[in-house]
Amino acid sequence: MNPHGIPYLRFVVPFIVGLALGAWLEIPVPGLGWGLMAGAALGTFLAVQKFAYRFRWVFGAYIHVLLFGFGYSHIVSHNELRQPGHFAATIQSCHYIIGTVYDAPSRGAKMKVPVQVEAMGTSQDSMQTVTGNLMLFLDITCATDSIRYGDRLGFQATILPTEPPKNPHAFDYKCYLHFQNIHHQAFVKPDSILRLSENNGYLLWKKAYEYRQNLLILLQRYFPTKDEYAVASALLVGYTDDLSDEMRTAYAETGSMHALAVSGTHIGMLYVGLMFLISKLRLRGKKGRLFEISLTLIAIWAFTFLTGATASVLRASVMFSVYMFGKAFWREASAWNVLAASAFILLIFNPYFLFNVGFQLSYAAVIGMVFFYPRFYKMFPPLSRWLDEPLQVFLVGVAAQLGTLPLSLFYFNQFPIYFWLAGWVVVFVGAVFLWGGAILVLLDSGSQILADWLGKVLYYMLLWMNKIIFSIQGIPGGVVRNVWVPGWVVFALYTCLFLLGAAMVTRRGRWLGAFAGVMLLLGIYRTAMVLDKQVQHTTVIYSVNKARLMDFFEGDQTISLSDTLTKKQENFAAQANRTVCGMRKKTRILLSDSTAFASPNLWVDLPFVQFFDQKMALIDDVCWVKKGNTQAIAVDVLVLSKSPNVSVAECRERFPCTLVVFDASNSYRQAERWRKECAMEGWAYHDVRRIGAWVWKQH
């Protein structure tokens, strides 16, 4: 690979480094914008000058510095908080807000509606013009479920900054929203919101969302069962709100989730199908080539907007567009140049795409396929067509998984072993369904009999695909779970992939030796971490709204004390931390069970808990404090739960302690009273609901 033949790849690297540093520091540099403009003008002048050959690197270094500075400035200035007139300066005194829905709302436990704020005031008669984005959380009712893109809303609410995660290593929703350029949220009651007008957004997006909604209604008719409809809507238009947790888990654990999130795979299928159809037209000459390119680009971008233009779809659409424009000028563009150019264009459009998980996985997968697939394929002898095509699907999947392996471990803490088996299923069914779904839409408005027949065929095809995916999920040892890697290990793993690739290209042993050396260091680190986890003694009180959950870690064994929680509630709060702590076995004890529990190092006889030398009293009822026996019993930690109507002083008199913990099962009002009492008396306390989980480690 000649570096001079891939200029975009050479240019995009310093730009991305500048973006990453700017996102990390978030510090504006005064005068940087003017300096970059002057630097660009000087660069234009230097570009036409002639320099001695030995100084040729100076101009290249200068351009790299400019791109680095531009990346830093671009992402720092992109933050909406730096917009003039942002509402952050006035939210303390404002409760009446007017804003427009600027993206399609999504549904979960609540309706999430992204709103671009236009005006705020202390009353409806004192509204002032402001700017900024806000995420609204609404209860799902008939009224709120009808909110659409472009609706102008008036509502009364208290705006709050988005909060960081309350539990260790939990999903950082604040960071996620930050890279959506949203930094504030509001919980709005259904009777406090009013739709003022409709159709205020961009016409293109409005039509795209309307067509997508019509397609979802059509799919509901032909796919009557919940799971098949959910998969059909995900495959065809990228709508995933109706996917059940079981379905998401099954596709994730078989490495097939990319099939349900419209991405480059779908754009590739669309492109291949279009090329096949256009080839039948036998177009010739420049006019034929122009018609071919125009038709392909229109179809790709129509599909892109129809599916909501997510980062992964935009990446693929821009990449194919760059490739098609290269063909328009009779040039075969380098895959590396196309990838770099598409990334550069997307990051200019939105620098926060760099931190989008789909964007990262999408590029990592394509880079893996571009580099490793042809080299893997050359290792096999020529085969018949019926063996060669399944082999190609298998090798493409292996190359893509190799490219995404470090990121998959970092974000999802698991790796699917049978991705190659599921890949054959989802690639074939996905390709057939994508084009079959398009034909179904056309037949629905033309021939109802044929549409019903095709709808049944597609329905049973998805039904059997789901059954196969669940069967693959059930194969023993199909997933390597609970693997936690820190960020620097991701970098080290990609270094290993680079060294392996260099060894494959150059066929020199030093690269393979360097690869083995880095892997050895990672193995030593992994061994040290496992040994460290074997001697850990840690107590964690998690933040679970209106409920209690405690973990006692001893080595890779965990004993959990909790209220009756759903698996989803428990995993959301604790699973990430349990993975980091290396949990292999868990014993669950319900706090509603009055039976005493004893293990070598944990003793539970409510209200008392002792873990090694740490003594705790769990108070969730007044009777624990005021019952007959008033003899004081000293403990290390006093945990207050379920809002008992007692003062901290009464509890400390009965259970003298060094720390008082209020868990998240208490009401805000009761916790606030206890906080004030502790602050007034100078007693140490920890409010789990406000500060986050309480963690104690015995050294």
Three-state secondary structure call for residue 667: coil
Write down the pLDDT at residue 393: 82
Q: How far apart are CA 309 and CA 524, in angstroms?
A: 43
Three-state secondary structure call for residue 390: helix
* 537-697 and 87-201 share a CATH fold: no
Q: How far apart are CA 504 and CA 375, in angstroms?
A: 8
Contacts of 155 (CB under 8 A, 6+ apart): 96, 97, 136, 186, 188, 192, 193, 194
Cβ atoms of 241 and 214 within 8 Å: the answer is: no
Cβ atoms of 125 and 95 within 8 Å: the answer is: no
Partners of 107 in beta bridges:
111
Write down the pLDDT at residue 617: 94
For 55, counting Cβ atoms within 10 Å of its Cβ (0-12 exposed, 13-18 middle, 19+ buried), the class is: exposed
Closest among 132, 242, 115 to 188, alpha carbons compared: 115
The owner of tokens 């409005």 is 206
Three-state secondary structure call for residue 47: helix
The owner of tokens 């397609």 is 215
Write down the pLDDT at residue 624: 75
Q: How far apart are CA 382 and CA 392, in angstroms?
A: 12
Q: How far apart are the first and last CA of the chain?
A: 53
> What CATH number was assigned to the domain covering residues 87-201?
2.40.50.140
Partners of 557 in beta bridges:
554, 585
Helix or strand holding residue 217 (H, E): helix 203-222
DSSP calls for 15-37: HHHHHHHHHHH----TTHHHHHH
Closest among 292, 353, 286 to 318, alpha carbons compared: 353
Write down the pLDDT at residue 44: 82
Q: How far apart are CA 61 and CA 295, in angstroms?
A: 41
Q: How far apart are CA 471 and CA 478, in angstroms?
A: 11
* Domain extents in the chain: 3-78, 87-201, 264-355, 487-532, 537-697
**CATH level 2 (architecture), domain 537-697:** 4-Layer Sandwich (3.60)
CA distances from 67 to 14, 22, 78, 339, 411 (A): 6, 13, 16, 18, 29
Task: Specify whether the backbone of 311 is left (phi greater than 0), alpha (psi in -120 to 50) or beta.
Answer: alpha
The two three-digit tokens of residue 207, written as one number: 């039509």
Q: How far apart are CA 212 and CA 260, in angstroms?
A: 16
Indicate the pairing of strand 111-121 with strand 96-101: antiparallel
pTM of the model: 0.90
Three-state secondary structure call for residue 429: helix
Helix or strand holding residue 305 (H, E): helix 285-306
Q: How far apart are CA 95 and CA 56, in angstroms?
A: 60
In the chain (699 residues long), the average pLDDT of successive 10-residue segments reads: 69 95 93 91 79 71 93 95 88 83 88 95 85 94 90 92 94 94 93 90 84 88 93 84 88 83 72 75 70 83 76 75 70 77 90 91 88 92 85 88 92 90 85 86 86 93 94 89 92 96 92 95 93 92 95 94 92 94 92 88 93 94 69 92 92 94 94 95 95 89
CA distances from 82 to 90, 173, 343 (A): 14, 21, 25
Write down the pLDDT at residue 1: 56
Write down the pLDDT at residue 518: 96
